[in-house]
Amino acid sequence: MSGTSADAIDAVMTRFKGDGAIETIASHSKAMPEGLKAPIFALQSGASRDIYDVCRLDAELAQHYAASVDSLIAKTSVARTDIAAIGNHGQTLLHRPDDNPAFTLQIGDNHRLAELTGITVVGDFRRRDIAAGGQAAPLIPAFHKTLVAPKESAAFLNIGGIANISCIKQGEASGFDTGPGNTLMDAWIRRHKGLDFDRSGAWARAGSLDEKLLKAMLADPYFHRAAPKSTGQDHFNLAWLSALLTDSPAPEDVQRTLLELTAVTASTALRQSGSQSVFTFGGGRHNDFLMARIQDLLGGLSVSPTSKLGVDPDFMEATAFAWLAKQCLDGKPGNDPAVTGARGERVLGVVFPA
């Protein structure tokens, strides 16, 4: 898994047991090479439409994914021949489920990955749901259903580049992208400080909330749409932010306000879900200031990392795509039409034999 933040390639080796239990054998995280970040961000934001960059990144990412697989296997005593498949989400460049025709694009050449590793690959998970009229996101609520007892309810909050929630009630799932997670904060501090992210929210904590800017951001129509819905960096990017900066606020005040935008939109969605317990995962979970603001806005709701459910919160998405790969190999549906809006259940993914 390499998420919309393009900060790292996360790999996890997972065994799915017959009783439904999940065993994490090993995990590995590799920082995204600096030379790949700039073209990924340019393509995500629409600053570039260079087909050469798309093709080059497709091949180069597969090489880095293969290296991550090799590093993961080296941490274990598992034989390469005993691995059923690699579930490869790939790197999202564009996600436009509301265009006509709708489309989504994840790169990281699955043919090359199978060739380099000698392991069957399952990839291209999202486009079948798009073809069936769905948003193709979020996909992991279907996996979250397997982590919650049939008569229990819980909400899951993922804070990656884009934030999304899953709500599980009585064995039924719902969920959607709530809006920006880390993407705007990361882009803003990259522009002004040359840093990849705001560690623990320290820069945002030094700023003051700009109520006028927050109100302008919250007026974006996306936040007022009903689910199913999903979004990406092609909508929420620095060009979007710049159009709203009618004044000249201090950069740290903008960072503080961007953090509040993520906290407000995520917590509002969680409160409306009616869940009494929230499980968190994703890179934004390490932003102490952001998590404190979300907890403040949620009041007395219980907020815990997904490790309480037996899944490392830093590798939840990678584990979910391992599950989706297994669903594909077993010929079972991977989407939840109630979440994505697809016309029905579909087997997601394409098998690329070793």
Does 189 appear as a known binding residue? no
Does 5 appear as a known binding residue? yes
The residues near 63 (Cβ < 8 Å, ≥ 6 apart) are 112, 116
Q: Is cis: bond before 305, omega within 30 of 0?
A: no
Q: Any idea how long the chain is?
A: 354
The secondary structure of 66-134 as a DSSP string is HHHHHHHHHTS---GGG---EEE--EEEEEETTSSS-EEEEES-HHHHHHHH-S-EEE--SHHHHHTT-
Helices (H) and strands (E) in the chain, counts: 13, 12
Distance set, CA 81 to CA 73, 118, 297 (Å): 11, 8, 49
Does 4 appear as a known binding residue? yes
The secondary structure of 285-316 as a DSSP string is GG-HHHHHHHHHHHTT-EEEEGGGGTS-TTSH
Does 161 appear as a known binding residue? no
The residues near 311 (Cβ < 8 Å, ≥ 6 apart) are 22, 24, 147, 281, 319
DSSP element (H, E) containing 160: none
Does 129 appear as a known binding residue? no
Question: What is the torsional sign of CA 109, 115, 117, 119?
Answer: positive
Token reading at 322: 């391992």
Q: Give the closest residue to 350 by CA, choosing from 147, 153, 136, 110.
A: 110
Assess contact for 155 and 167: CB atoms under 8 A: yes
Does 3 appear as a known binding residue? yes
Backbone angles phi, psi at 36, to 5 degrees: -95, -20
Does 10 appear as a known binding residue? yes
Token reading at 139: 């996909």
C-alpha 350/C-alpha 354 separation (Å) is 13
Binding-site residue ranges: 3-10
Binding-site residue ranges for ATP: 3-10
